[in-house]
């Protein structure tokens, strides 16, 4: 922490959410909570084949059903447009084909019609009455096999294959992760309201600005005529960045019928047609010398994608910079499957990629008879060897050291099945983790008001991470007013353009713009103060004045001698002064350093061979992601990531019917998620090294890093307990039955 | 029996439809009609509230008059026989604090109290609750008057997106209320 930095009294302190009391009393408004006079209800009809064409679609019965106002399909729907190539991450969109474009079906669950009626019940009944026949083609939902000739090089240095064949110790294993579905608790929804040629879309999106750009392109309307609102989001995990058809369908239906339309998809539709993390197959080859120094690291992967979209799950996100090795290569491949478009899901690429890499590192440590922490420390790089740039801030070895001591790792006996507690076999595993960091462009407006309150407006959104609260903290700290006196207004595309809430980028992005907006408002305040200077400061010029701790004062006098900003505004006859701030993004600039967050995950599992019962009993998560602005909500983010990581390790998998490509377990009971009863004790610890290359407060994102590394830590712990190396997630009881036999327990 | 007494007390007409299992089965999946939501004023961005607690008469036999006492306030409404209690609360009474997460009784986001018992409001039809007393999250506490359980959720950051929080609170609030009642009874004995 720089010595010149003022003491922070609110930023960095555990702070309850400013929107908390609304959320616990049912008053926080989510998209499907909006109602408008004359509102109609829309229910989409979904395809029931994996691939082919609509042979016939009859609405004769549905049209005549009570309350039905329209049944739309590819023959009578409006022309919609595709989105332009997105070069600046301003219009992220996973599924390019708009809904109801033509009669072609490329996945089970693709929307083929839309029923709009006076009530939800009427629309749902009529949707079931739409008759469709198909020319069906076979489904293709198998694993994405690695095909050597089709791989594309993503990162490369040295000669990794040669170094691998020369290596004294080698690991060559293939790992697989299944399709996982976000299972956001709030179903994707749109409420579309037209007034003349202007449309307001109440949406479930992680980026109101991103969605505005996507929808102006989709609908072919001007940006100033399309407003997107998401005041609260019932979780996203990356699955609510793209438009999934519901928005287009509701917008067009509302326009055609000249009435507001509400569309909430069903849970089954969310599994089929609203994105997922694609399936991956990853081959990791590690070469090392006998001291454990890596001489070669290769990660080749193929991920599944939809027939119409090329979505690369970047499994090689962390491999190029995580460890020191002179020879490294990562390559990617795609496998077309009859599934809906894949999309970003918490830690896209890095999370499945780290499962493979960190499992392989554990396998290498066993082959070397070396402690897995020592092996990682032996390969700690001094710079990002993939780019030659220095790290802006990297404390991975300290994460491992701190986690080791908190977890009790020095007491670990590496012999398989050697540790027990209360009659249970214990397994202890560790994994490192990393995720990119940086900023997106951001604009912020701040008003200082004469009633000693303030307002901050930004077109970003709070997706449950606590953005409302941290922005309130920053403004309240700077103005020395209570947190409750700051109105933070987010979630509206008509506000100054803010970042999407994805990639763990929002927090880092909003800080510089907020600081500049506060500076700008301060300048305006001082100019106003100079205007009334004869009353307080004997005709001082703005340049003679300063603003400190909420008070305007003469520069050469103590802040306490000054006047509160509210009093200055009152004397000047002003209701408020405003400031605007803008900051650029880092993602498309030439980088001068390599910016990431890091962490170490420690997992304990208990294994009961007699009844083949595996539980995750303890997680220690040590995170290095700069300054934590709000440890209360920050800890919650990491805990949430860990819980999702446990789901990835031992529960989650979307399974598809090979006959018709239908997601089989498309509900919250059959798609297994970590429940409260599955949650272990989670110890979250932050190493707080502010990364001042990112922003003034040195804060980086923490939305994704908490999930990274959890699944391999658990898989490594399972191996320690059972001797079984599971390389295909999720880890199932069936995988571990061999361990029972070898332990002589059955 | 209890239900019938209550109906008489409220002065329902003798011929008001009694919801039988056969009636329900006959109407599930059948067609309903016309919205009965009371018309109300409102501009975009301002969710509307029914102007009165009494809705228009049903225009079709698919609609059934139902009296619900929700958060101590009485609602005489006409509901489509297919409407779940959840959709009735959210779309007809505009009590949107209760949330739909799965619509299959799997997630619990829609938990409300009916006659002092916790239920998944997505798994029950509104017509089955004529005369029932329903408590939703809105009836437990308001932002300026939070129930201690709600305040505790805020204090301990017991949520992130907050979407299923209403259901969690409704589930725990009654659980704890029952515990307290039990304890009081035990200490009396």
Q: Does the pLDDT at position A488 exceed 60?
A: yes
pLDDT at A741: 62
Taking an 8 Å cut-off on Cβ atoms, the answer to whether A36 and B106 are in contact is: no
Q: Residue A635: its chain B contacts at CB < 8 A?
A: 157
Interface residue of A18, A24, A192 to substitute, partner B, most B CBs within 10 Å: A24
Predicted local confidence at residue A58, as pLDDT: 98
Residue B47: predicted pLDDT: 39
Q: What is the pLDDT of residue A536?
A: 80
Query: Distances from the Cα of B165 to the Cαs of A376, A491, A636, B137, B151, in angstroms?
Result: 41, 20, 15, 9, 12
Q: Please, what is the angle between helix A246-257 and helix A208-219, to 10°? A: 60
Nearest CA in chain A to B168: A24
B150 contacts in A (CB within 8 Å)?
Answer: 21, 24-25
B91 touches A at CB < 8 Å = yes
pLDDT in tens, A431-453: 999 999 999 999 999 999 999 99
Q: What span, in angstroms and rounded, lies between the C-alpha atoms of B76 and B36? A: 11
How sure is the predictor about A140, in pLDDT bands with cuts at 50, 70 and 90? very high
Q: Report how far residue B77's alpha carbon sits from residue B64's, in angstroms, rounded to the nearest whole number.
A: 8
Closest-CA distance, B1 to chain A, in angstroms, reads: 30
| A640 contacts chain B (CB < 8 A) | yes
Position A150 pLDDT exceeds 60? yes
Instruction: Look at residue A224 and tell me whether its pLDDT is greater than 60.
Output: yes
Chain B positions touching A644 (Cβ under 8 A) are none
Mean pLDDT of the region A652-670: 97
B34 to A67: CB separation less than 8 angstroms, yes or no: yes
User: pLDDT tens-digit profile of A341-354?
Assistant: 999 999 999 999 99
Residue A409 has pLDDT above 80, yes or no: yes
A67 near B CB under 8 A: yes
Q: Pick from B42, B83, B163, B173 the residue to mutate for testing the A interface (most A CBs within 10 Å).
A: B163
Residues of A labelled as active-site residues: 704
Cβ contact, residue pair B150, A24, below 8 Å = yes
Instruction: Please state the ipTM of this predicted complex.
Output: 0.94
CA–CA separation, A536 and A533 (whole Å) = 5
| Residue numbers in A near B95 (CB within 8 A) | 26
For residues A263 and A254, the answer to whether their CB atoms sit within 8 Å is: no
Window 150-189 of B: residues touching A by CB (8 A cutoff) are 150-151, 153-155, 157, 159-166, 169
| Percentage of the residues of chain B whose pLDDT score is greater than 90 | 58
Q: Measure in Å the smallest separation between the Cα of B176 and chain A Cα atoms.
A: 16
Q: What is the per-residue pLDDT for B26? A: 37
With tokens 């908190």, the residue in question is A406
How far is the C-alpha of A490 from the C-alpha of A501, rounded, in Å?
12
- Whole-angstrom Cα distance, residue B50 to residue A589? 53
- What's the pLDDT score for residue B61? 58
Query: How confident is the model at residue B106, as a pLDDT?
Result: 96
Q: Do A66 and B62 touch (CB under 8 A)?
A: yes
Question: What is the mean pLDDT of the segment spanning A440-468?
Answer: 98
pLDDT at A6: 57
CB A636 within 8 A of CB B160: yes
Rounded distance, CA A586 to CA A594, Å?
Answer: 11
Average model confidence (pLDDT) for chain A? 96
B50 touching chain A per CB within 8 A: no
Residue B54's pLDDT band, with cuts at 50, 70 and 90, is: very low
Rounded-to-integer distance, Cα A256 and Cα B180, Å: 56
Q: What is the mean pLDDT of residues A258-281?
A: 98
Partners of residue A629 in chain B, C-beta under 8 Å: none
Residue-level pLDDT at A85: 87
pLDDT for B39: 32
**Would an 8 Å CB–CB cutoff place B83 in contact with chain A?**
yes
Q: Which of residues 5-34 of B touch A (CB under 8 A)?
A: 29-34
Q: Shortest Cα distance from A191 to chain B (angstroms)? A: 11
**Cβ neighbours, 10 Å, residue A389:** 15
Nearest-CB residue to B29 (from A26, A125, A185): A125
- What is the torsional sign of CA A127, A133, A134, A138? positive
Q: What's the whole-number mean pLDDT along residues B144-164?
A: 96
The share of chain A scoring above pLDDT 90, in percent, equals 94
pLDDT value of position A515: 98
Shortest Cα–Cα distance, B136 to chain A (Å): 9
pTM for this entry: 0.92
């Amino acid at each position: 922490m720089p010595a010149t930095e003022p003491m922070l009294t609110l930023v960095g302190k555990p702070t309850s959410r400013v929107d908390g009391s609304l959320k616990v009393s049912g008053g926080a408004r989510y998209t499907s909570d909006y109602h408008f006079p004359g509102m109609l209800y829309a229910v989409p009809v979904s395809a029931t084949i994996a691939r082919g064409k609509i042979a016939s679609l009859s609405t004769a019965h549905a049209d005549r059903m009570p309350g039905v106002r329209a049944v739309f399909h590819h023959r009578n729907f409006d022309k919609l447009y595709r989105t332009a190539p997105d070069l600046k991450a301003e219009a992220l969109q996973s599924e390019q084909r708009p809904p109801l474009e033509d009669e072609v079906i490329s996945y089970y669950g693709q929307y083929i019609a839309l029923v709009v009626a006076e009530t939800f019940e009427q629309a749902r009944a009529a949707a079931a009455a739409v008759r469709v026949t198909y020319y069906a083609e076979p489904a293709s939902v198998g694993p994405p096999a690695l095909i050597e000739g089709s791989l594309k090089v993503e990162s490369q240095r040295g000669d990794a294959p040669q170094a691998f064949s020369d290596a004294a110790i080698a690991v060559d294993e293939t790992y697989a992760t299944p399709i996982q579905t976000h299972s956001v608790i709030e179903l994707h929804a749109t409420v579309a309201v037209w007034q003349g040629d202007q449309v307001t879309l109440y949406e479930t999106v992680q980026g109101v600005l991103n969605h505005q750009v996507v929808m102006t392109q989709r609908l072919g309307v001007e940006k100033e005529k399309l407003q997107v609102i998401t005041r609260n989001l019932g979780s996203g995990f990356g699955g609510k960045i793209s438009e999934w058809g519901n928005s287009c369908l509701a917008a067009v239906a509302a326009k055609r019928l000249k009435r507001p339309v509400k569309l909430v998809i069903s849970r089954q539709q969310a599994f089929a047609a609203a994105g997922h993390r694609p399936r991956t197959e990853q081959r990791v080859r590690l070469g090392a010398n006998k001291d454990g120094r890596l001489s070669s690291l290769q990660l080749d992967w193929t991920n599944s994608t939809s027939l119409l979209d090329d979505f690369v799950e970047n499994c090689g996100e962390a491999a190029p910079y995580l460890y020191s090795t002179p020879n490294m290569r990562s390559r990617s491949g795609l496998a077309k499957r009859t599934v809906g478009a894949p999309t970003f899901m918490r830690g896209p690429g890095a999370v499945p990629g780290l499962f493979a890499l960190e499992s392989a590192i554990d396998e290498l440590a066993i082959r070397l008879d070396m402690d897995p922490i020592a092996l990682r420390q032996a390969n700690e790089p001094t710079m990002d060897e993939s780019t030659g740039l220095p790290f802006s801030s990297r404390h991975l070895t300290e994460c491992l050291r701190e986690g080791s001591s908190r977890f009790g790792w020095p007491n670990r006996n590496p012999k398989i099945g050697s540790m027990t507690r209360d009659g249970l076999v214990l397994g202890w595993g560790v994994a490192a983790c990393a995720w990119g960091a940086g900023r997106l462009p951001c604009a912020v407006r701040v008003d200082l008001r004469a009633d000693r309150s303030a307002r901050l407006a930004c077109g970003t959104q709070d997706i449950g991470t606590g953005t409302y609260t941290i922005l309130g903290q920053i403004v309240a700290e700077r103005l020395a007013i209570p947190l409750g006196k700051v109105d933070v207004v987010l979630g509206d595309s008509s506000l100054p353009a803010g970042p999407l809430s994805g990639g763990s980028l929002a927090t880092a992005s909003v800080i510089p713009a907020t600081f500049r907006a506060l500076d700008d408002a301060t300048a305006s305040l001082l100019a106003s103060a100079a205007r009334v200077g004869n009353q307080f400061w004997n005709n001082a010029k703005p340049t003679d004045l300063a603003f400190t701790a909420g008070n305007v004062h003469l520069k050469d006098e103590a802040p306490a001698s000054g006047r509160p900003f509210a009093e200055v505004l009152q004397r000047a006859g002003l209701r408020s002064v405003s400031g605007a701030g803008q900051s650029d993004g880092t993602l498309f600039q030439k980088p001068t350093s390599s910016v990431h967050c890091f962490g170490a995950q420690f997992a304990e599992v208990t294994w009961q061979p007699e009844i083949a019962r595996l539980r995750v009993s303890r997680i220690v998560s040590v995170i290095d992601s700069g300054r934590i602005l709000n440890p209360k909500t920050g800890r919650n983010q990491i805990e949430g990531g860990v819980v999702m990581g446990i789901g990835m390790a031992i529960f989650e998998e979307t399974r598809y019917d090979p006959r018709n490509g239908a997601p089989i377990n498309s509900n919250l009971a059959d798609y297994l998620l970590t429940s409260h009863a599955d949650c272990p004790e989670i110890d979250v610890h932050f190493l707080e090294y502010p990364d001042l290359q990112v922003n003034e407060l040195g804060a980086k994102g923490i939305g994704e890093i908490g999930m990274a590394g959890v699944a391999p830590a658990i898989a490594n712990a399972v191996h320690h307990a059972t001797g079984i190396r599971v390389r295909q997630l999720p880890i199932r009881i069936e995988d571990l039955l061999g361990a029972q036999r070898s332990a002589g327990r059955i | 029996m209890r239900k019938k007494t209550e109906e008489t007390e409220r002065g329902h007409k003798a011929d008001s439809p009694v919801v039988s299992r056969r009636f329900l089965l006959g109407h599930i999946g059948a067609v309903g009609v016309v919205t009965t939501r009371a018309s109300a004023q409102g501009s975009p961005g301002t969710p509307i509230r029914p102007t009165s607690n009494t809705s228009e008469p049903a225009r079709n036999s698919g609609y059934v008059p139902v009296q619900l006492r929700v958060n101590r306030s009485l609602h005489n409404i006409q509901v489509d026989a297919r409407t779940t209690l959840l959709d009735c609360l959210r779309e007809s009474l505009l009590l949107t604090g209760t949330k739909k997460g799965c619509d299959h009784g799997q997630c619990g986001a829609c938990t409300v109290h009916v006659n002092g018992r916790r239920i998944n409001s997505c798994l029950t039809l509104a017509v089955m609750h004529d005369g029932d007393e329903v408590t939703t999250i809105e009836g437990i506490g308001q932002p300026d008057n939070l129930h201690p359980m709600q305040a505790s959720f805020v204090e301990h950051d017991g949520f992130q997106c907050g979407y299923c929080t209403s259901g969690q609170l409704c589930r725990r609030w009654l659980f704890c209320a029952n515990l307290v009642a039990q304890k009081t009874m035990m200490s009396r004995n």
